[in-house]
Chains A and B, each alone.
Chain A
Amino acid sequence: MFLLPKGSPLFENLAVAKLKLPDILSKLSNGSFTGYANFVFQVDTAILVFESGKLLSVLFEDKNGMRESGFQALSALAELMVGTGSGALNVYKLSKDLTMCIHALMEGETLCKAQDLKLIDINALLKKIKDDRMNGCLRIYTDEHSAMIFYKDGAPLGFFHDGANDIETSPVESQKIAGLPGAKIDLFSTQSSDELMGANLLEFTNIQKIWDSCVALHKAIIDKSNTERVERDRKILAQQLAELEEIVKSIVIEYVGSVGRGIVDKEISNNGGNTCLGDADRTKKFMAGVERAAKLLVSGTNNKVMMEKLSSALTVSATGF
């Protein structure tokens, strides 16, 4: 996303995770805010331009450089705000005229796009801007550098370039970039600020509904993810318990004989399934049951050794649950 002049900062680096989009928009709208709000996420960016509390334009750019505007941009921003735990909000107050130029830059009519400066008559273009009393923005850029000249009624409002925080009155930096090899220009025009007053995205967008649906969608995703995680954990636990059950059976069979499998099955069933092997109290009951049954089949010495082995196997496995 291109850099914009900062004007007067109202808020900087507010944690987006704690904010709700409808509340922010409502606050800026009710406060007759003029300027722009810049949402900066890890790789995505959104800019909302306000004029006297009216939301003139919204631009959302994702990590691939894909841009969306209007309703789609608001939806994308809401989704990102709900779905991500990071991100910062910066709000900068600008003059009406500069706000109009920012709007032009974002959503204005593109009169000229990626034109090589060498191939166009720049003087003629500047004369046309002046003669047509154009409102808008002329962007001059190379791969490394960028500068913008904002116009109102054909007269330059100011100059802005990479590395600067605010509008400058000197055209030096813009002229330097224009002189670089491979320099290109974009020209965007828009209506006057007075004419723009009629448009307000907030009037025909139910931002609360967008937000609520994003929250609901996010909750559904989280719920689904939780359900999947619980199911996955349950399957892993079931597999671990099944493996432990087989270990227990093999120990009991080793000492008691093949009838040991039945004894283990019976005790597991008596103690509510093989989950008892992962529960300290029920494991105790299970062990007591196995020992009682084994007493009828094996010598006291063998029974003692078997119980020690079982206890050891269950203790080692219990640490994994």
Chain B
Amino acid sequence: MKFLEMVAQLNTFDLIQIISWGLAGAISFYFSIGNARVWTSISIGFFLIFVSQAYGINPWSHYHKLTAFHYIVGTMAIMTITHGFLEYYVFCRTFEISGNKLIVYLITIGFLAASAVFLLINPTPSPNTIRNIKMVENAIWVFLSIINIELIRKIYSSIRDSDISKGFIAFGIVFICIFVWRGTDLYLQVFQWDQDWQDIIALMTEENSDLEDYKGRVQFSREVVRYAGVVSGLSVGGVFTYLYTLLK
């Protein structure tokens, strides 16, 4: 019941974004099951993005620790994806394939459990702390998106005449979208123009915001965040579907 109320409260854009990430997560997870070990990290990472984005429809999201956990999962998502692309790049250079899927699953679950324990043994995070965690998440996303674009470029140049090479061009486009999405969000956070900061200062401090002075760019940036988020989610789902057809 509470879940339906939360869904009803979401605006259409946020709902589309969550649904698109849900589809992308499902496709990527399915992809990880039926494919080679190197794809596991990449697929799990994209699935974890959905988990991190799902806080909007989580009926218990008013628990701050749970909200913080969503953001930590988001951070782990990009780290797992980057690890996957790094492994793929290493494979392209050395043709070495090591490890197995189960270990990747177990390590990911282990990290998630450790993050949960970290939150449980620490005080309940304040809205400001949660915002800080979110900002760290965005910073890591922006930085690792750039790294991934470079890794994808190198992977593509190594395997440009193979069946799957076009799939990496698609991944490059995905990370450009993600970079714009997360980068713009980080931009708003760094200049304290994000909604979370506005909520915090409205309730807890006497601090004033200069948001009104830059209303145009703030509004534009917020639109970019919304659209880029949706496009990112849709593109991830599309890329995995495309990869599936390439590797069939």
Using a CB–CB cutoff of 8 Å, the interface residues on chain A facing chain B are 256-259, 262-263, 265-267, 292-293, 295-302
Beta-carbon nearest neighbor of A297 in chain B: B162
Q: Complex: how many Å from CA A144 to CA B222?
A: 123
Interface centre among A257, A267, A297, A298 (most CB of B within 10 A): A297
A293 CB, nearest partner CB in chain B, Å: 6
B160 touches A292 (CB 8 A): no
B248/A256 in contact, CB under 8 A = no
Is A263 a contact partner of B95 (Cβ separation < 8 A)?
yes
Residues of A within 8 A of B97 (CB): 292-293, 296
The answer on a CB contact under 8 Å between B92 and A299 is no
Contact A262 B95, beta carbon cutoff 8 Å: yes
- List, sorted by A's number, 5 A–B pairs whose CB atoms are closer than 8 Å: A259-B92, A259-B158, A293-B91, A298-B164, A299-B247
**Chain B, residue nearest A290 (CB):** B95
Partner of B94, one of A257, A266, A292: A266
In the complex, chain B residues whose CB is within 8 Å of the CB of A258? 161
**Chain A residues whose C-beta falls within 8 Å of the C-beta of B120 in the assembled complex:** none
Return B161 CB to nearest CB of chain A, in Å. 3
Q: Is the CB of B161 within 8 A of A257?
A: yes
Question: Given A259-B158, A292-B36: A299 and B163 within 8 A (CB)?
Answer: yes
For residue B96, which residues in chain A have a CB less than 8 angstroms away from its CB?
A: 266
User: Chain B residues with Cβ under 8 A from A256's Cβ?
Assistant: 162
Distance (Å) between the CB of A134 and the closest chain B CB? 94
B residues with CB within 8 A of A: 35-36, 38-39, 88, 91-92, 94-97, 158-165, 246-248
Q: Which residues of A contact B163 (CB under 8 A)?
A: 297-299, 302
Whole-angstrom CA separation of A256 from B161 in the bound complex: 7
Closest 6 CB pairs of A and B: A257-B161, A266-B95, A257-B162, A297-B162, A298-B163, A295-B36
Which residues in B have their C-beta under 8 angstroms from that of A293? 91, 95, 97
Bound form: Cα–Cα A267–B96 in Å: 9
- CB closest residue in chain B, given A293: B95
CA distance A262 to B161 in the complex (A): 14
In this complex, the member of B92, B159, B246 whose beta carbon has the largest number of chain A beta carbons within 10 angstroms is B159
CB distance from B22 to the nearest CB of A (A): 27
Residues A296 and B36 in contact, CB atoms below 8 Å apart: yes
Judge whether B159 and A299 touch: CB under 8 Å: no
Interface centre among B88, B95, B158, B248, by most chain A C-beta atoms within 10 angstroms, is: B95
Chain B min CB distance to A254 (Å): 10
Residues of B within 8 A of A298 (CB): 162-164, 247
Residue in A256, A257, A267 whose Cβ sees the most chain B Cβ within 10 Å: A257
Interface centre among A259, A263, A293, A300 (most CB of B within 10 A): A259
Residue of chain A at shortest CB distance from B159: A259
In the complex, are the beta carbons of B162 and A301 less than 8 A apart? no
Name the A residues within 8 Å of B92 (CB-CB): 259
